[in-house]
């Protein structure tokens, strides 16, 4: 299954792949060169298909758990000051996604969306300390039953040039439901109340909607 955000790019890539192979077959007599060109465009097609894959995930639907919003690796677990919405200290957990990861963003917890805002910005590498406040990003806050207000922030990276955010204020959302999509490499920050029990470690690989980030 592929994500709807990739339909247009996948269709264009399929057309270009087929066109390049047909033209190469007709105009390039050297079979070694032809097979090399065909191999390159097919590999690129496979990479595009892999990037936009959208595997079915079943969240625990447990109000006492916070799940990872994305696939990737945990790169930050620290207490920070959050200046945009909470304006106080929060526990931040960040998950970095490589271009090979699934890039669907999912709600870490179910509840009511109380804040959703898009910010244009820079395209610093996603692990840069200032990426959370200076890069293109979207911020979503969901009021959950057990954790109160939980924020997750999609952050564009050096390769990501478009963030898609589906969350709107006053929506009621389910844990693990689709919150958005980030195209081509990025990260997602989660902001939790201080004292929250964190169930992951630095450099641990996690899966969106499946891996437990925190519990109450």
pLDDT in tens, 89-132: 999 999 998 878 888 999 999 999 999 999 988 777 666 667 67
pLDDT in tens, 56-77: 888 999 999 999 999 999 999 9
> Tokens standing for 206?
């996690």
Distances (CA, A) of 49 to 13, 16, 43, 132, 179: 9, 14, 10, 28, 21
Domain ranges of the chain: 4-51, 65-215
User: Is residue 186 annotated as a catalytic residue, yes or no?
Assistant: yes
Q: Which fold has domain 65-215?
A: Glucose Permease (Domain IIA) (2.70.70)
- Average pLDDT over the chain, rounded to an integer: 90
Measure CA 98 to chain center.
9
Catalytic-role residue among 186, 210, 215, 216: 186
């Amino acid at each position: 299954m592929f994500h709807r955000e990739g339909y247009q790019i996948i269709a264009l890539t399929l057309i270009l792949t087929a066109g390049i192979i047909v033209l190469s077959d007709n105009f390039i007599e050297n079979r070694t060169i032809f097979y090399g060109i065909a191999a390159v465009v097919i590999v690129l097609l496979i990479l595009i298909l892999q990037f936009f894959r959208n595997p079915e995930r079943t969240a625990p639907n447990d109000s006492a758990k916070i799940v990872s919003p994305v696939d990737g690796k945990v790169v930050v677990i620290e207490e920070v000051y959050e200046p945009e919405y909470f304006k106080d200290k929060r526990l931040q957990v960040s998950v970095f996604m490589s271009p090979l990861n699934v890039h669907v963003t999912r709600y870490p917890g179910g509840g009511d969306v109380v804040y959703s805002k898009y910010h244009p910005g820079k395209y610093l590498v996603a692990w840069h300390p200032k990426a959370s406040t200076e890069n293109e990003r979207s911020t979503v806050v969901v009021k959950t039953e057990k954790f109160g207000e939980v924020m997750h922030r999609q952050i564009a990276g050096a390769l990501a040039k478009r963030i898609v955010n589906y969350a709107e204020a006053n929506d009621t959302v389910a844990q693990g439901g689709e919150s958005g999509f980030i195209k081509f490499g990025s990260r997602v920050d989660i902001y939790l109340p201080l004292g929250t029990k964190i169930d992951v470690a630095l450099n641990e690989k996690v899966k969106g909607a499946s891996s437990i980030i925190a519990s109450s």
